[in-house]
Amino acid sequence: MSRTLVHFLNQRGIPSCLLSLDDYYLGQADREHLAVQIHPLLRQRGVPGTHELERLLADFDQLRSGQVQNVCLPVFDKSVDDRAPEGEWRTVEAAPQIIILEGWCIGAAPPDKIMWRHPVNELERTQDADQQWRTHVCHHWLLMYNALRERLDRMWYIRVPGWSSVIEWRWQQEQERAPRGLNSRREVELFLAAFERIFRHMQKSYPQWADLVIAANAAHELELLDENGR
């Protein structure tokens, strides 16, 4: 959707640029360092605290300033779970009038810290009993929220049917990918467990922060909702 919108705008003479939060994942070496120094769950990319937020903000601000000659946007290669070589990074041809930042966990403020005490699934119960991982994620989620709130003019949210759809769609993606990163539906469930808490909070809180809501049904059909969520 983001790529289509950027293409549409550029075709109509409105210079636009797409940034993907996924491209700012930390590389394997940096995540391994976090896993050793803070918590083993940080070895897996995805949650706040596994992104290079400073680089994202610097790139965003430079694009917004119009000084794009030296901008080189990183690319993350999920097939090898690492950042691609710099020779494969993206350049920007013209100063954008519109910047679209797409990615999950953008827009919502994290819930109050007291809500993090109770585990939401088996992963949190067994692998984060002391809440060290959750504390790290909450801290970096708040940093991301505060930094982006100052920079983004509008927030769009795609509402999906529920958690089971997230699992099913990701498993579908893995089956279409060669080579697969996750080899069974069970592996997908285990991988996504790290995201369940944030997903459920966003599905509940979006009426407070989303300027526009698009509902996706089980068949991936999209519908624009009105101000009352209908």
pLDDT at 226: 79
What integer pLDDT is reported at residue 180 of this predicted model?
Answer: 75
- pLDDT above 70: residue 229: no
pLDDT at 182: 84
> Residue 56 has what pLDDT?
97
CA angle 164, 166, 167 (to 5 degrees): 65
Separation of alpha carbons 137 and 126, rounded Å: 17
Query: How confident is the prediction for the chain on average, in pLDDT?
Result: 93
Contact 33, 113 (CB under 8 A): no
Counting residues of the chain whose pLDDT is more than 90, the rounded percentage is 86
- CATH homologous superfamily of domain 2-223? P-loop containing nucleotide triphosphate hydrolases (3.40.50.300)
Which range is least confidently modeled, 107-116, 147-156, 203-212?
107-116
C-alpha 216/C-alpha 228 separation (Å) is 16
Q: What local confidence, expressed as pLDDT, does residue 176 receive?
A: 87
Kindly indicate the confidence band of residue 228, based on its pLDDT and cuts at 50, 70 and 90. Answer: low
What is the tens place of the pLDDT at every residue in 157-186? Answer: 999 999 999 999 999 988 888 777 788 999
Bridge partners of residue 18, in order along the sequence: 100
**Whether residue 179 has a cis bond before it, omega within 30° of 0:** yes
- Residue 171: strand, helix, or coil: helix
Check: CB of residue 89 under 8 Å from CB of residue 73.
yes
The structure tokens listed for 173 are 């993606």
Q: How many residues does the chain have?
A: 230
Please check the confidence at residue 141 and state whether its pLDDT lies above 70: yes
